[in-house]
Structure 1
């Protein structure tokens, strides 16, 4: 953790807040940045329940194998997905239970939250 901060509360008392180390903050921001792309979210949700090959993922999410492969390289580099080789085939899966929980929590959150902005709607 980084250095504790002690901002004043409304009643004048100090509140102790632990801020994570800068490297941790940057890594979390990277993960959320990766999740900011709808195509990558589609890939990750397809992997929620099973390992899949690139061609199967591409068919499932309606994208090209090249685009899916590129997304998987990014997700793998950030330890969001991992590859399991079966002979000459590569099967991708979510990296671990933390990634699964993060994705599931995000999906659960949006099912009950009011969207701030929906793509395709007018900003007016």
Structure 2
């Protein structure tokens, strides 16, 4: 059995910490449906545009989303199929997990 290195464990912890925000999870779930720009994310999620931009900056830094410029607009999407699968698995788990501690 191969042990996880300290640097890999730290990188995983950083990603998990990045996922520890309900707003960031909502942004990722919205991007799971389709790529979109900051303004559309802000409107769809009823969040301020500066708030969404700050969350996206962290999600980009963690390699969870990418942005591509089309004219003056940046369209964001999930980074790759690994992020898509991770999000789908977590959402499925929550749907099947007991309601809370001791449930």
Q: State the superposition RMSD in angstroms.
A: 1.0
Aligned residue number for residue 46 of structure 2: 62
Scaled by the length of structure 2, the TM-score of the pair is 0.93
Q: How many residues end up aligned between the 2 structures?
A: 101
Q: How does 1:30-41 map to 2 (within 5 A)?
A: 30-41=14-25
Gaps of 5+ in 2: none
Q: Secondary structure of the equivalent of 1:18? A: coil
CA distance in 2 between counterparts of 1:102 and 1:115 reads 21
Structure 1 residue runs without a partner (length 5+): 1-16, 118-124
Q: Which has the higher contact order (CA 8 A, sep 6+)?
A: 2
Larger radius of gyration: 1
Is structure 2 residue 67 aligned with structure 1 residue 76? Answer: no
Q: Structure 2: how far apart are the matches of 1:30 and 1:20?
A: 15
TM-score, normalisation: structure 1:
0.78
Runs (4 or more) in structure 1 with deviation over 4 Å come to none
CA–CA distance in structure 2, aligned partners of residues 110 and 64 of structure 1: 27
Alpha-carbon distance in 1 for matches of 2:4, 2:58: 24
- Greater helix share, 1 or 2? 2
